[in-house]
Structure 1
């Protein structure tokens, strides 16, 4: 009989609380760094929530499930891993408190636990439904008007003009502060701004440029260990993370022509379905002699074909070949004699970026190369970065290419672990900016409100072509609010007001009032931890924001499609105490997606009924692991 562990709400809360106690050590402005010691003796310091949670050796399946949810959310938005755990624990506490208030159906322990679990599931389901249908409206009315909106000029301004782009600098600085600490946050915010300025696409929305950088970031980044972080910089052109397989002659003043080859330079001998037959000769020659003669003839033919391919490259003026495959020794020898540089085993992402920036299409057969497949480079030379030698290229100016300034990003760190940490933070910063500028679509409930003639409220944005641009996007791209709990304070007050207004209208909205109160109470846990070392600032900031909301209250009749008429792009000047503490800015879109992810995680956790402890042998394809014990969760069947 397999051992079965029955799960209760208290067990889930204990598991999440254990994770909460870990991330609290590095949360907030007073949070420190966590020291990791690996089995090899290597030590590493980090403030990153994803790094901390990934390094934990978790045995309980619920803990692993929570960490997996956090990592999936962080992979999309790049931010909010520690806040995810704090909100999750706070929501479980308020749900547990509310569920325990239900009258007992029996005096037995099992019946009480079942009643609490059933009530908790119902509350979680109502919370998730409420968030999916009405939360974006509440944020648009109660949070967005009290923040600001980043402009395209702020996004693409140069880093030296601090007075022209204070918002983007504060947004990046607050992000890197939570990851790398106060020492390096300003340096990385400047470096990120330079990357955005060089890779901006003219007359395009910032989300397009950010999406391009996000997709090609592995090919743009070059880690260099053994140097201080101050050596990190941008480098012109592109760095191919391979070295020359043939000697590279110096060409300082002349343009270089290159071609991308996705196959072998050796010409194809056989086509699909063909068979090479050996042994064609006279009747008086024995079998061994016929085969040897045929092999010699075949080798001579392939050598002549290879010479023709090299001659074809020379006729086109090609002096550099970027290949995704490893070439033969004969190819490298003939290429060296012809002074053609070959870079072999180049990553596909780097070849794709090179083809996109140069405008030259890759080819698979060297004999099919045409002038359109040849790219013109300013230079192509070796570069030594740390202990590795790479290929450094610069693109020739052309109107056919994108109007950008191609540049690679060199990230330096004293140790390999620190370098990886800086690169992960840079990745997450780009994801955060992309999530900030990515428009949030209209919800199902809002769509039904705006299209009163439609009878089905579950239509998606793609099915509603008649909506205006302002109606299709409730939370405008680029919306930010001051950090330090401002979003949670504003949304807390907006939720309480929304719940009371619905309850006054009709008693049937009691469920909305209840879930609004639960979510509002859970949100306050984040600023409480932010101001844990200064409770007086917590009370002052909360009171100041509530007074600001009451003074600038927006009547519901002045709202059109859930978007306030009050401009959200005004100067961010509240609350003054938040700016005095120097918290910076936070993305409204990332916060909204964080709340939805946390509520979905709570819903999944409370559906678990029991854990079966089993032992099994993994398949051979499971990364070499075998004979390990593991636990699987069993979902309770809904009624």
Structure 2
């Protein structure tokens, strides 16, 4: 437990980092946490650790909330988020908080995004085959990503088996493509079942879906069947809600019951005559429905949850059947095709095992997880769910909407441009030959106008960076013609330098970008003539933006070897690009973030003697000599998730540095309170 008192945000972040540092990476251990109710929690999952901590300071709760939101959105990085946040705040302890907060947007736009788009690009690998992001994820890359992800969450005897189960589930479900993988992520709770008391080796991937209900009526049938989904009782009622039914005698009552029974039998006869042999119900059916279902050979599964009903609808594409009014005699058009239907016993729990024929890209399969106790099963399921969420981020890219804005002639970035600050935004068109790229392009396109003071220069964060000529007139701006085919009217390749860090996929995840209180964009545009050479060094590969995706900071499928390479590379290139910025505040922030990034590999290699020093020197020496990276460990990690982690930490730092006053309210205010 921590109390607020006079503790600074840096001290609070350092305390949080100390709580999670020991469980970071494959060499980390499991944390034993005791909950307020006395229950013990043994885990390596950063999200579960932060949720279980009893945090009293408001700043600590805000930090944990930001880390949890990032983890929920990207599936990775809760512990790394806390460590990087603590390192950044600790380095800013002696500086001016407001000045640092104002410099962060300019740093992200002018240094961080250029370091990623230009410096990191030659070192990135692609997890997709030659077909691009439209093709499915490579099997080898899938296994490397899953096993590396699970290293920091499961023990050495578990992660390999769980990773293979995840690969098999993705392969059988067709979840190497975005639509099927998204359904697997959203409905993972309904697509897996747990069996306690069995070893992990007994875990299996089964075809079909396991419904957490037993059959209310089971009539064995072979071959392909038709199934109907209902969400209300099939036995008619005498009166609708709000309508009274007057029964004046016992004879009338018996006649009404006979009518209800006859109507129920007619419905079941209609289902049977239409070839329906399985009834899936979201509510409990009347005993007469069960009776007539058995009489006509129709199996019934009732009391399905709303999530299970939604899953069946998504897989099969059918809507619930409603035999109201005269529709009893109508043709049943929306019926699912079922290949098998049978009960299944897992431990002491009975399930309805049903094989649905899919109407989409997702092929229904379910995962049966076995473990000695339920707590271990929960950890395995949570780790796999986070891994699938992480895999979904591979299909996202950063900065793609810049090209769409240029083609459509409109910008989706909020523009705040005024003549008073016209000198702060400049565009530059640079023509180059196809044989070489000048040092000016390699170093990044500098602004034509230097800010008069650091505070004035920091106001650039209030203006869009990627502006069309029509929206940014002025004597300092040169016209830039962007063509959809990647060339301008003069025949030179035109590239819009992209650095706003938010694309359409981010807007779908407000948890990651909710702290962004400023607009970001690019300050300059450049024309390039070469494709990116992956086998070339940074000096030979230009700015690292390809013709096929001219406005992207990161392309879909970008991965790097696991083990701290992203942090070392970003540290190296932030230092390199910070030297070209003529603003002292941005340079200071660049050095702070660059040094803070090293705290991650330091924690990863902290248990080895001189492990980090050796790793750092080998990697930086290879960068200086333009040699391949010395990869020592197997496994890959998503660069998109790592990049979003850095930007999310910077946004969290901005929020924390802008806090003026913390007010503690002991009890909620009510309307009856006497305030005066």
Distance (Å, rounded) in 1 between the aligned partners of 2:256 and 2:271: 23
Displacement after TM superposition at 1:129 (Å): 4.3
Would you say the 8 A contact 2:227–2:336 is kept in 1?
A: yes
Q: Which residue of 1 aligns with 2:383?
A: 425
Q: How does 1:120-159 map to 2 (within 5 A)?
A: 120-131=97-108, 134-152=111-129
Q: Which residue of 2 aligns with 1:278?
A: 246
Structure 2 residue 547 is matched with structure 1 residue 473? no
Would you say the 8 A contact 2:111–2:577 is kept in 1?
A: no
Displacement after TM superposition at 1:31 (Å): 1.4
> Equivalent residue of 1:613, what SS?
coil
Cα offsets for 1:22-73 (capped at 9, x unmatched): 1011113321111234577654421111111111122222222211111111
Cα offsets for 1:234-276 (capped at 9, x unmatched): 1011111111112x1222x332221011222113544577x34
Q: How does 1:23-172 map to 2 (within 5 A)?
A: 23-37=20-34, 43-97=40-94, 99=95, 119-131=96-108, 134-152=111-129, 165-172=139-146
Which of 209, 217, 231 is matched with 2:180 structurally? 209
Query: Which stretch has the larger CA shift, 516-525 or 361-370?
Result: 361-370
> Equivalent residue of 1:609, what SS?
coil
Q: Cα gap change, 1:170/1:618 in structure 2, threshold over 3 Å: closer, same or farther? A: farther
> Equivalent residue of 1:180, what SS?
coil
Displacement after TM superposition at 1:206 (Å): 2.6
Displacement after TM superposition at 1:470 (Å): 0.4
Aligned length: 540
Q: Which residue of 2 aligns with 1:315?
A: 273
Greater relative contact order structure (CA < 8 Å, 6+ sep): 1
Q: Cα gap change, 1:20/1:483 in structure 2, threshold over 3 Å: closer, same or farther? A: same
> Equivalent residue of 1:96, what SS?
coil
With normalisation by structure 2, the TM-score equals: 0.73
Distance (Å, rounded) in 2 between the aligned partners of 1:41 and 1:153: 54
Would you say the 8 A contact 2:173–2:364 is kept in 1?
A: yes
Structure 2 residue 646 is matched with structure 1 residue 595? yes
Would you say the 8 A contact 1:267–1:365 is kept in 2?
A: no
> Equivalent residue of 1:179, what SS?
coil
Query: Which stretch has the larger CA shift, 476-485 or 434-443?
Result: 434-443
Structure 2 residue 154 is matched with structure 1 residue 184? no
Displacement after TM superposition at 1:85 (Å): 0.7
Q: Cα gap change, 1:452/1:137 in structure 2, threshold over 3 Å: closer, same or farther? A: farther
Which of 380, 384, 393 is matched with 2:345 structurally? 384
Displacement after TM superposition at 1:371 (Å): 3.5
Q: Which residue of 2 aligns with 1:351?
A: 309
Distance (Å, rounded) in 1 between the aligned partners of 2:54 and 2:91: 28
**Unaligned stretches of 5+ in structure 1?**
100-118, 280-289, 504-508, 553-572, 620-639
Distance (Å, rounded) in 1 between the aligned partners of 2:503 and 2:206: 42
Displacement after TM superposition at 1:404 (Å): 4.8
**Unaligned stretches of 5+ in structure 2?**
403-412, 414-424, 428-463, 474-497, 505-520, 522-545, 671-676
Would you say the 8 A contact 2:113–2:501 is kept in 1?
A: no
> Equivalent residue of 2:235, what SS?
coil
Structure 2 residue 499 is matched with structure 1 residue 530? no
Structure 2 residue 657 is matched with structure 1 residue 606? yes
Q: Which residue of 1 aligns with 2:579?
A: 500
Which of 589, 594, 599 is matched with 1:515 structurally? 589
Cα offsets for 1:327-367 (capped at 9, x unmatched): 12222222223332211111223223223333433223364
Output the aligned Cα RMSD: 3.2
Distance (Å, rounded) in 2 between the aligned partners of 1:134 and 1:7: 36
Q: Which residue of 1 aligns with 2:472?
A: 455
More helix by share: 1
Which of 262, 265, 271 is matched with 2:231 structurally? 262
Distance (Å, rounded) in 2 between the aligned partners of 1:350 and 1:13: 45
Q: Which residue of 2 aligns with 1:304?
A: 262
Structure 2 residue 167 is matched with structure 1 residue 193? yes
Distance (Å, rounded) in 2 between the aligned partners of 1:199 and 1:541: 39
Q: Cα gap change, 1:533/1:51 in structure 2, threshold over 3 Å: closer, same or farther? A: same
